[in-house]
A and B are shown apart, each in its own frame.
Chain A
Amino acid sequence: MKSQPIVLQVSDLHFAYGPAFRLSIPTIAIKAGEIVCIAGPNGSGKTTYLECLTGLLQPDKGVITISGKPLTSAMYRSKAAIGYIPDDEHWLIKELSAAEYFEVLMSVYWAAGVTVNMRQRCADLANQLQFTAFRQPLQELSHGNKKKVQIIAALMHNPKVLIVDELRNGLDPLAVIAAERIIKQSAKNGTCVVASTHDLWWAERLATSILLLVNGKPVLHSSVQQVKQQYKHVENAFLELVVP
């Protein structure tokens, strides 16, 4: 792992909305092939952090770089290196069918200079996730199928950085296994993955390192092996560090 290059680097990130919440994360560097799981209680800033990483939210302070290039509005093409699986079906353009939605995304990524054969990649991912409802309007799809569409949409352009918010929500066990396999395969191919989850056993099984957030601040950031050595399980660390 040490020989891998740093893909995503977040330096001294600060984001606040209102007096009630303040996210403040020191410098974190994530290497190619690394899977970082972000855990924490409700309202600890997991989704806010992920949205800052995607460029959806503009941090008040701090720099995010992908392969050395800063993620700023002027460098919008670097967003082509990001794939985002949100935990919200609101993100889809529900008025389109899945096939039309993928076509729209493909046209945008092609214009941004992505050279991956996205049609083939889409077909492969759909095959692995057993997704077949290409012609059905997205608004008519079940919650699980919408999640599958989001997974395909996030991975179709082979992003360097994959950001995942609650992957397992809405997916059936078979789809969860398939999605996990896809993510592991992507990591093996050099993608760095940042995933937020409430399932600590899943995090322990899948992640290479854990970032534990409480009230917008990290209370733990180390490799899963170290966490296991110190606390035996990630869940124990959570209970010890989060519960007052």
Chain B
Amino acid sequence: MKLITAALVANFGHGSSRPKQNALGRLVLIAIGSIALSIGSVRSLLTVQSSLLPLPLLSALGVCFALQCLIACGNIASLVSQKSPAIPSVGILPISQLRQRLLNSLNHLAYTAFILIVAVPVFALFLFKAGVTPVPAILLLLVASLSGCGLFYVTTTIKLGKLVALALLGAEYIALRQLAAHPQTLLWAALFSAVTICCCAGLLRFGSFADHLSHKKKSVKLYAAWLNNRFWFTKKVARSSFFKSLATTGVFAATLALYAHHIQLFNSDLLAFLASLLGAANAADIRSICRARWPAEITAIRGTPYFVGKEVLSLLAVYAAISPLVILAFVYSSNESTSLAVLLSSLASVCLGLFIGTIFTPYPGDISAQVTSVVCSSIVLLVIQRVAPLPITYCLLLTCSTIGSFIHEYIRNPFTWRYQRGVKKSTIDYQ
């Protein structure tokens, strides 16, 4: 019990001067925030009329697909934050392998729990409206959650795992489309179930995933070594794990958007909300990378303003990754004003993710800070959506969060102060 408490404090109070209070505060905030977000999304779904929903079987399989996609995608989006275990020394303690693995992967489990709290009520309501009875609905949600986790382990623990995961998702998507076109043929439902079982089999990789986190010594492949050294930045991007997770997030978001478009289930609010969640998670990841590892560029090139400027620019890459969802939300918007609000709200969510991530995310491996950032930014957006969903409000939020993240980073960056005061000017001034 003491070990679990210590792991929770280490996970949720990471880098804080008052770890216990901070851990408790964050846990309460995440719990309340998740419930609030869940209620917000459920309210948004209540507006969908039951008559528009597809048949129960198709709805059930569709929910299974969407939930598993969301779990896998959300976890991949926050992969950088899940890279290290809360207690590195857990490997030398005399505790069972299962306990060791659970403690190692506490980050991932916390993030999955957060996604489930937010998403399960929405999908449960959807199933209820589509006429699926409670017992099969519960079983379905359970299978979807497990296969989502399995899919995530496949992406992280086997060679070409991301491609395998995408192939599995593609097969599911094709099965769903065929089932929608020919509802009487159960062959496609059988294919869908078979692929879902394959995804669930990915759960067997849990041990490998948890062990991989605790091992310090890992062989790192240097991609694009054949490129000339003049393209050092391209090499850096190609080798960055963040880039890889961002690319996967993009493909997953596109698959989800394709599916949402196909069954015409989601309204613009819900799609924008989904895009906000993924965007904020990725933006907070950018923050966690930049905060903890001061790269050579920050001192050797043009200092903090240049660095933060690039950081804001890199948000555009995040935005590009989640854009399929945004575009679809834009298409579904009822009028021009709503379309603009959708566009601006998703862009604001990314900037807000960066700003709140600046406050909450001090180190990589700090999943709690990332979840807190996502919860906070999503709640702000939800509140604005309820109170004043006007383009001007979103514009204001976008501007304020960008300026806020810039100022906050500028103040906290120790290199800025040293540089300005001239303490290390002779060693830093490489220009």
Contact = CB atoms under 8 A, between A and B. Distances in A.
B218 A54 contact: no
Given A51-B217, A93-B87, A107-B2, A79 B94 contact: yes
Given A93-B6, A96-B19, 7 more contacts: A18-B219, A48-B217, A54-B91, A55-B91, A56-B216, A95-B6, A108-B3
Contacts of A95: 6, 9-10, 13-14, 16, 19-20, 23
Interface string A40-67: 0000000010010011111000000000
Contacts of B9: 93, 95-96
B94 A96 contact: no
B91 A56 contact: yes
A90 interface: yes
A100 B5 CA distance: 11
A17 B87 contact: no
Contacts of A111: 95
A212 B225 CA distance: 34
B212 to A, nearest CB: 11
A17 B16 contact: no
A101 B94 CA distance: 16
A112 interface: yes
A92 B89 contact: yes
A237 interface: no
A82 B92 contact: yes
Interface residues of B, number: 33
Given A93-B87, A95-B10, A104-B3, A54 B92 contact: yes
B140 to A, nearest CB: 34
A191 B49 CA distance: 73
Question: Interface centre among A57, A90, A108, by most B CB within 10 Å?
Answer: A108
Contacts of A91: 88-89
A17 B220 CA distance: 9
A84 B95 contact: no
Q: Sort A-B residue pairs by CB-CB distance and give the 6 closest, nearest first.
A: A18-B219, A95-B19, A112-B94, A79-B94, A80-B94, A73-B97
A78 interface: yes
A78 B94 CA distance: 7
Given A95-B16, A95-B19, A55 B1 contact: no
A104 B91 contact: no
A238 interface: no
Question: Interface centre among B17, B87, B92, B214, by most A CB within 10 Å?
Answer: B92
A223 to B, nearest CB: 29
B277 to A, nearest CB: 28
Question: Interface centre among A18, A91, A94, A95, by most B CB within 10 Å?
Answer: A95
Interface in B64-122: 86-89, 91-97, 100
Nearest to A72: B97
B215 interface: yes
Contacts of A51: 216-217
A229 B297 CA distance: 53
A84 B88 CA distance: 13
Contacts of A112: 94-95
Nearest to A100: B6
Nearest to B217: A17
Interface string B301-314: 00000000000000
B217 A96 contact: no
Contacts, number: 82
B183 to A, nearest CB: 49
Contacts of A198: none
Question: Interface centre among B10, B13, B89, by most A CB within 10 Å?
Answer: B89
Question: Interface centre among B3, B23, B94, B211, by most A CB within 10 Å?
Answer: B94
Contacts of B214: 56
Contacts of A137: 17, 19
Contacts of B1: 107
A18 B95 CA distance: 29
Contact of A76 (B2, B13, B94, B217): B94
B106 to A, nearest CB: 13
Given A95-B13, A103-B2, A108 B93 contact: yes
A95 B96 CA distance: 24
Nearest to B22: A95
Given A17-B219, A108-B3, A56 B92 contact: yes
A84 B89 CA distance: 10
Interface string B190-222: 000000000000000000000100111111100
A96 B92 contact: no
B111 to A, nearest CB: 19
A96 B91 contact: no
B10 A17 contact: no
Nearest to B219: A18
Interface string A106-131: 01110110000000000000000000
Contact of A104 (B6, B19, B217): B6
A76 B20 CA distance: 30
Nearest to B220: A18
Contacts of A143: none
A57 B212 CA distance: 10
B205 to A, nearest CB: 16
Given A48-B217, A96-B9, A108-B3, A90 B88 contact: yes
A76 B97 contact: yes
Contact of B96 (A76, A78, A93, A107): A76
A77 interface: yes
Nearest to B20: A95
A48 B91 CA distance: 14
26 contacts: A17-B217, A17-B218, A18-B219, A51-B216, A56-B91, A56-B92, A56-B214, A58-B211, A76-B96, A76-B97, A79-B93, A93-B87, A93-B89, A95-B23, A96-B9, A103-B2, A104-B2, A105-B93, A107-B1, A107-B2, A107-B3, A108-B3, A108-B93, A108-B94, A111-B95, A137-B19
B87 to A, nearest CB: 6
Contacts of B215: 56-57
Nearest to B5: A104
B99 to A, nearest CB: 9
